[in-house]
Structure 1
């Protein structure tokens, strides 16, 4: 399975994500030319070599009206006096950061969507870019306690972020991985100076986007994860965990501007992830003196206690008695627990154990929004295939609420995905 793993030990920002992904392409300069030919208003992308702590990588400069936008980090000292750090571009610079270029125009989310939809890029890339910006808009609305329609973005930061979002979405489409994983996200610490004042790190919008995403602070002062970086990771990453077992084929280094004791970069690994295989146990017993209700109750108890699966098989036992074979699948570490449950809730006097090899697809569950309500979508990847399935319990709940059939609900929701 083609897997992209993003190592975010120094946070995440749009320009850094774009830089690390462009290094995975065979011809990165062609991408820069293609991007600049999109003619995003007042935007030019420049790819340049950058070295951090002796590591050579790529830095992507997003020029707005011929200038690269800058932002400020502010640290609070013990006496609570505010001391400005050097005014320079650390990571991706967001729409809500303080700007020194003198621009005061603003853009609504609908105007941003118009810009994105007007670009000569694939429909899927447009959809991804609009959805990512939707996450940013939702977070800003939450931070300012306004509706998303009331949110307006500063002009310079808007164009900078549009470039980052569109660039990353284009690169993900070109790389086309089966699965995307990321490490837990380092958000930094201290404070950042924004258009609305001095805010704690992570900024409120970033913190909102990173809900349910593993993240952590540290000793490094500064904003390491920006709203754009957070939104891109939240949208594209299937999981946030340690790097899986994979055969790496390409490695990319996307550099930020600032220098820290630790290399200021995002590292990307692209390769083939080994398919999942693990040992499972089958605990089996034969029953000929329990009622159907008692067997059903026993299987329910086993499932509720974490069995991988429980199923029954009709069999003929000694003296030609009809019976039931109960099979409980579980992890080896849980064997003693399930042996006790089987002996407690069935009439068997003996249990057989079989060790099996189980090959499985990599699974992920995400929540999608629809006109009928939120619903879980199960995604599975591996062995060169991918599958999707809507969660039955959610379908059943909506069917009861809307007085519709499961078929009608599936048809409506699948049209919106």
Structure 2
């Protein structure tokens, strides 16, 4: 089976659908597979053009969707040509300009197109992200949103093409940098909107994307591009090796190279485990409140949580509440700390943890079944009966905990 790949998107010139497809083609996705996938869609009135362009002296792949009314003039789509809520668009007067489709229509079209399972999954995921954002912007359910542009031919092509390329490259995981965005305003059918446009802000807010606003005037991030970045499972790893690099050209000319740089990377596994420690000093909570908070933290998935007795200013006896958790749990743990205690601030810092390889086994003893933690050290197994199992057997047998612990240990 071919090795799964991690795709890293470096979005220092923003991100759009056509830039992403171009970068993926430059990474090795084939035009043949792309055209074969698009041929399965019930769409016509367009053609795609794939070529090479120079962006600030860099050779990059260029991907463009040309609608029928553009032929001859060959008007390039702008970098920000996906304005799902009806912003200015180069196809304002063509037969496809007003092809309004709901998300439900698009989903049914994709389901009936015979796409590969992974291509279908990714395409629907990206469209759903945009639909939910547009629904919030316009105050209606996601499946009833009428897309002025994302329902148009070129945007459907962009999203399905990106999904087809990811599937062909065997991309299993996507990570992304901060998303660099411009400033100012854009014209649309509803008036003049600020940059970032509302749908991009909704996607960034709902999917944890980090936008970094630059001095560049104009839009650098389209809703379709934001939806692609929203596939990201986090930031790039601290250490990685690069297997291949692809450059996708944007349509605008910026002082800096207007390219999306995509990389297939291999993450370097660290010898230790990177976790986060959250801490708060508390001197005005009751014991009941503190105990309850600790239970909530552990139930929510904290790796560990504990109290340390301390003295605060004015010699007040207090407790330091410490929580060990994974990075993706920080927000959840903070929410519990602020909700369940009187703290008004939580500090955090990364920690490295070395731990033994371990597993849980269930064994049979003369007193019943017990769970045992098996740890490996230097190839040697060490076995430790689990507390809850020992407690349960001790109660069932009417024996003390220490006596039952020793009996179980002798039998495992």
**What per-residue deviation string (whole Å, max 9, x for no partner) do you get for residues 168-216 of structure 1?**
1112222223432100111211111122121000111111011131111
| In 1, Cα distance between equivalents of 2:229 and 2:250 | 17
**What per-residue deviation string (whole Å, max 9, x for no partner) do you get for residues 237-294 of structure 1?**
100x35531111100001111110011111011121101323799xxxxxxxxxxxxx
Residue in 1 aligned with 2:58?
Answer: 55
Residue in 1 aligned with 2:125?
Answer: 131
> SS at 2:227's partner residue?
helix
> SS at 2:171's partner residue?
coil
| Pairing partner for 1:222 from 209, 218, 221 | 218
| Pairing partner for 2:190 from 185, 196, 202 | 196
Residue in 1 aligned with 2:260?
Answer: 266
- Give the Å deviation of 1:152: 1.1
- Give the Å deviation of 1:114: 2.0
- The answer to whether the 8 A contact 1:278-1:359 is kept is no
2:30 aligned with 1:19: no
Residue 356 and residue 182 in structure 1: after superposition, are their counterparts in 2 closer, same or farther (change >3 A)? closer
TM-score (norm 1): 0.60
| In 2, Cα distance between equivalents of 1:34 and 1:110 | 24
- The answer to whether the 8 A contact 1:184-1:213 is kept is yes
| In 2, Cα distance between equivalents of 1:6 and 1:22 | 14
Residue 9 and residue 207 in structure 1: after superposition, are their counterparts in 2 closer, same or farther (change >3 A)? same
Residue 171 and residue 244 in structure 1: after superposition, are their counterparts in 2 closer, same or farther (change >3 A)? farther
Deviates more, 1:209-218 or 1:102-111: 102-111
| Pairing partner for 2:175 from 166, 181, 193 | 181
Residue 203 and residue 358 in structure 1: after superposition, are their counterparts in 2 closer, same or farther (change >3 A)? same
In structure 2, runs of 5+ residues without a counterpart are 276-290, 307-321, 326-351, 358-412
> SS at 1:230's partner residue?
helix
> SS at 1:11's partner residue?
coil
TM-score (norm 2): 0.61
Residue 36 and residue 170 in structure 1: after superposition, are their counterparts in 2 closer, same or farther (change >3 A)? closer
2:5 aligned with 1:9: no
2:121 aligned with 1:119: no
- The answer to whether the 8 A contact 1:250-1:271 is kept is yes
Residue in 1 aligned with 2:82?
Answer: 93
Residue 223 and residue 126 in structure 1: after superposition, are their counterparts in 2 closer, same or farther (change >3 A)? same
| In 2, Cα distance between equivalents of 1:153 and 1:123 | 24
Residue in 1 aligned with 2:309?
Answer: none
> SS at 2:125's partner residue?
helix
| In 1, Cα distance between equivalents of 2:247 and 2:239 | 20
| In 1, Cα distance between equivalents of 2:155 and 2:129 | 13
- The answer to whether the 8 A contact 2:106-2:151 is kept is no
- Give the Å deviation of 1:230: 0.7
Residue in 1 aligned with 2:33?
Answer: 31
| In 2, Cα distance between equivalents of 1:140 and 1:186 | 21
- The answer to whether the 8 A contact 1:192-1:200 is kept is yes
In structure 1, runs of 5+ residues without a counterpart are 71-85, 282-296, 312-327, 332-354, 361-417
- Give the Å deviation of 1:113: 1.3
Residue 263 and residue 357 in structure 1: after superposition, are their counterparts in 2 closer, same or farther (change >3 A)? same
